């Protein structure tokens, strides 16, 4: 009799030594559970008895002595004899009801949404969430089945797919401008947690008590465009910024000792510098903030007087080392010709011309490139 009693299970319990086990099946093997055995269900656990593939009883946290009074459904299914005092066989599953807080999610592919300001935008996002079992019977029926140890990794991919599917519709229908998403991530996380809980609780017995959006990112090209737009907002005056950029480019060309037309770069750099100075320091009587119109200096540094009234003025452009420079008024341009900064063979263009032409082939510029007379003969 002692040997036979040793085959019966007296205590049924589970001490969870993992952080990711959602369902654990008690290893009964071929042993039978003795009538009067102790069932210990700890906090954050639920014990589910399954008989012949059917859920018989669910036990909340506490200690139970398994008698007929505690197992009304199971006793009916088994039809015990001998006054319901014989041992019985049943599968016992322990289900963890605490929160699993180490769940991660992320969008493998960008989610396309429509933004009122930027149009169609592709977004990526990632974060974490917590999951909890709210209905152990549904979890066993729909997900765990007869798995002896059902872990979070077995359901995490399924939950991630649901999250990504819900994320696109949430972001697209929220009506939140893209630039305000970061400030309202907590609100979006709460709305997504409620939507997922409503869907999962009824069908799988799982709730999402906490959902965190750590980051919402944009494609690199969109981020670069936003950065450029931010820089323009800081700079303020686009005309001044363009002048500064042109001056920097001309300065780089002038500092390159191997580049042809070094004198041209030096002269144009001085002209751009003086134009910038006049833009930042308005002349007397000129309203503050309006750009100044001043004649560019000659390559030698001398100021070119303004044109006489009634004279037609052209704005000339010249190609230097494959780069377009200008515009320059007629007096400034011819002054550069006289200084040698603009030489025969260079291409020039002004309004009204069909195409670029060498400077010596343009009618109004040809006189400046006529052959100079030979030197005088030595005096006797």
Tens place of pLDDT per residue across the chain (380 aa): 444 444 456 788 999 888 899 999 998 655 577 777 889 999 999 999 887 778 888 999 999 888 766 666 555 545 444 444 556 677 899 999 999 988 999 888 888 888 877 778 888 889 999 999 999 999 998 998 888 999 999 999 999 988 888 887 787 777 788 778 888 889 889 999 999 999 899 889 999 999 999 988 887 877 787 777 777 666 666 666 667 677 777 767 666 655 545 445 545 555 555 555 454 444 444 444 444 444 444 444 445 555 555 555 678 899 988 888 888 888 888 888 888 888 888 999 998 888 899 988 888 888 888 765 566 677 75
Evaluated on CA atoms 229, 234, 236, 242, the torsion sign reads: negative
Q: What is the pLDDT of residue 176?
A: 81
* Three-state secondary structure call for residue 341: coil
Q: What is the pLDDT of residue 340?
A: 81
**DSSP classification of residue 340:** T
Residues in contact with 20: Cβ distance below 8 Å, sequence separation at least 6, in sequence order: 100, 102, 151, 152, 153
Question: Burial letters for 16-28: b for 16+ Cβ neighbours within 10 Å, e otherwise?
Answer: eeeebbbbbbbee
Largest CA distance in the chain: 155
For the record, the structure tokens of 353 come out as: 């011309």
Question: Burial letters for 185-218: b for 16+ Cβ neighbours within 10 Å, e otherwise?
Answer: beebbeebbebbbeebbeebbbbbebbbbeebeb
Quick one: which of 18, 103, 88, 7 has its CA closest to 50? 88
**CB contact at 8 A, 66 and 90:** no
Strands 45-51 and 54-59: antiparallel
For the record, the structure tokens of 86 come out as: 């014989």
Task: Please give the backbone phi and psi of residue 112, each rounded to the nearest 5 degrees, phi first.
Answer: -90, 125
User: Could you count the other beta carbons within 10 Å of the beta carbon of residue 283?
Assistant: 9
Quick one: which of 304, 308, 280, 309 has its CA closest to 294? 304
Q: What is the pLDDT of residue 167?
A: 84
Alpha carbon distance 147, 61 (integer Å): 22
Q: Give Rg (Cα) of the chain.
A: 43
For the record, the structure tokens of 342 come out as: 């603009």
* Three-state secondary structure call for residue 92: strand
Q: What is the pLDDT of residue 1?
A: 43
Alpha carbon distance 73, 48 (integer Å): 12
Cα 339 to the center of its chain, rounded Å? 55
Alpha carbon distance 24, 12 (integer Å): 12
Read out DSSP for 231-268?
HHHHH--HHHHHHHHHHHHHHHHHT-TTSS-HHHHHHH
For the record, the structure tokens of 44 come out as: 């954050």
pTM assigned to the model? 0.54
User: For residue 171, is the peptide bond before it cis, meaning its omega torsion is within 30 degrees of 0?
Assistant: no
């Amino acid at each position: 009799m002692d040997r036979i009693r040793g085959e019966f299970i007296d205590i049924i319990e589970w001490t969870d030594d993992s952080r990711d086990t959602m369902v654990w099946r008690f290893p009964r093997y071929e042993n039978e559970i003795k009538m009067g055995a102790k069932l210990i269900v700890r906090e954050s656990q639920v014990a589910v008895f399954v008989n012949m593939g059917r859920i018989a009883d669910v036990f909340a946290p506490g200690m139970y002595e398994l008698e007929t009074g505690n197992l009304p459904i199971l006793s009916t299914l088994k039809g015990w004899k001998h006054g319901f005092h014989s041992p019985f066989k049943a599968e016992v599953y322990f289900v963890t009801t605490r929160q699993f807080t180490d769940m991660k999610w992320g969008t493998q592919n960008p989610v396309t949404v429509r933004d009122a300001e930027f149009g169609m935008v592709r977004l990526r996002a990632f974060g974490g969430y917590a999951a909890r079992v709210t209905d152990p019977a549904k979890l066993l029926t729909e997900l765990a089945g007869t798995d002896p140890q059902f872990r979070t990794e077995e359901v995490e991919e399924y939950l991630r797919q649901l999250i990504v599917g819900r994320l696109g519709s949430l972001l697209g229908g929220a009506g939140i401008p893209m630039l305000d998403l970061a400030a309202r991530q907590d609100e979006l996380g709460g709305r997504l947690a409620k939507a997922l809980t409503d869907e999962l609780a009824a069908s799988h017995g799982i709730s999402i008590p906490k959902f965190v959006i750590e980051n919402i990112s944009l494609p690199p090209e969109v981020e670069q465009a936003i950065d450029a737009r931010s820089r323009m907002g800081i700079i303020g005056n686009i005309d001044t910024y363009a002048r500064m950029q042109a001056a920097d480019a001309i300065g780089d060309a002038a500092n390159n000792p191997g580049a042809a037309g070094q004198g041209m770069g030096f002269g144009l750099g001085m002209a751009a510098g003086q134009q910038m100075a006049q833009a930042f320091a308005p002349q007397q009587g000129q309203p503050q903030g309006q750009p100044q119109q001043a004649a560019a200096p000659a390559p030698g540094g001398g100021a070119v007087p303004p044109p006489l009234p009634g004279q037609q003025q052209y704005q000339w452009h010249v190609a230097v080392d494959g780069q377009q420079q200008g515009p320059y008024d007629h007096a400034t341009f011819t002054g550069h010709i006289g200084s040698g900064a603009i030489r025969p063979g260079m291409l020039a263009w002004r309004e009204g011309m069909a195409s670029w032409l060498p400077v010596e082939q343009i009618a109004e510029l040809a006189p400046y490139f006529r052959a100079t007379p030979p030197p005088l003969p030595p005096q006797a």
